[in-house]
Amino acid sequence: MNMVPRQPQAELRAFVANYLGRDSVVFDCGGHQFSFIQNPAIITGNVDQFKGRFTPTTEVLVKGVRPGQVDKVKVAIGRICWLLSLAGTCRVVCYGHEYPNGSGLSYSVSASGTAQSFRPAIEINDNTQGKAYVEQTYETYQRLEKSRKLNVIIDYLIQADREGQPTEICLILMFVTLESLKDTFARSQSIPYSKGYFRKPPARPGKEGAKYSFEELLTLMLRQVGMRRGVKRLVKLRNDLIHSGLSRKPHKRQWALYADSHDLIREYLLRLLGYRGCYSPYAFERRGFRAEIK
């Protein structure tokens, strides 16, 4: 009997930037264990010195990788990086790998993003919480990443929170994020789309259904994951900005609504991804430092 030789297994080493967790951690996802090993300067130093610039922070070691699995493992690392990006509102990115580890056969890719640490959603310095978050959400992220455009959504959240931008720009990015989530939700529910609008079921056969408003679709989307927050104030501000480019509301009020929209999207994404546990609200001054999804 002819035996097909088994492919040799080896260790893959990847290089990650902008992950500011203060300790190393192992994530068990997608059939492999991913050891995120932090640079000692990140563990013991003042992370403020790394903020605002592209910062190599982490080596990722993955044991038992066959040659035919390399691409799959690289994609999995990318998914973990997107989940960590959501956790910290900071673009965590894999910018290269070496396989087999120690062979000198390394590859790098163009990557961008800067290290940030401002009002993170998940306490990544708490390995128990950070590990539970990634491992709980990985499979759902993998299933929904394309249909719900999750990497785009996470990137919008990060771009909105960059320093030095007018508050109106931050708000517009948040509303674009909500529009995208609303659109992919409606399509995932097979809601009919006709003449530029999603449509309700027709009152009579052969007739076109009435238009869904932005607020109605947003409310349906939130209720699907168990959220019943009112969105009228956010919708009114969205309409002001879209129609005039500016809002007449005081800056303090605009900032509060920005924080509210951040919290709305943050909680929605965590619930959508199946996370159960503690997280940090963006508007912690009004909502406290900890909230919980049960």
Encode pLDDT of 27-51 as tens digits.
999 999 999 999 999 999 888 899 9
The pLDDT score that the predictor gives to residue 47 is 86
Encode pLDDT of 47-67 as tens digits.
889 999 999 999 999 999 999
Residue 156 has pLDDT above 60, yes or no: yes
Would you kindly state where each structural domain of the chain is located, as residue ranges?
A: 10-121, 157-293
The pLDDT score that the predictor gives to residue 207 is 86
10-17 and 56-65 beta bridge pairing:
antiparallel
For residue 221, what are its two tokens? Answer: 């989307």
Encode pLDDT of 198-232 as tens digits.
999 988 887 899 999 999 999 999 999 999 887 88
Name the least confident of 74-78, 210-214, 238-242, 288-292. Answer: 238-242
pTM over 0.85? The answer is yes
DSSP E strands in the chain: the ranges are: 10-17, 25-29, 32-38, 56-65, 93-98, 106-108, 193-194, 197-198, 277-279, 291-293
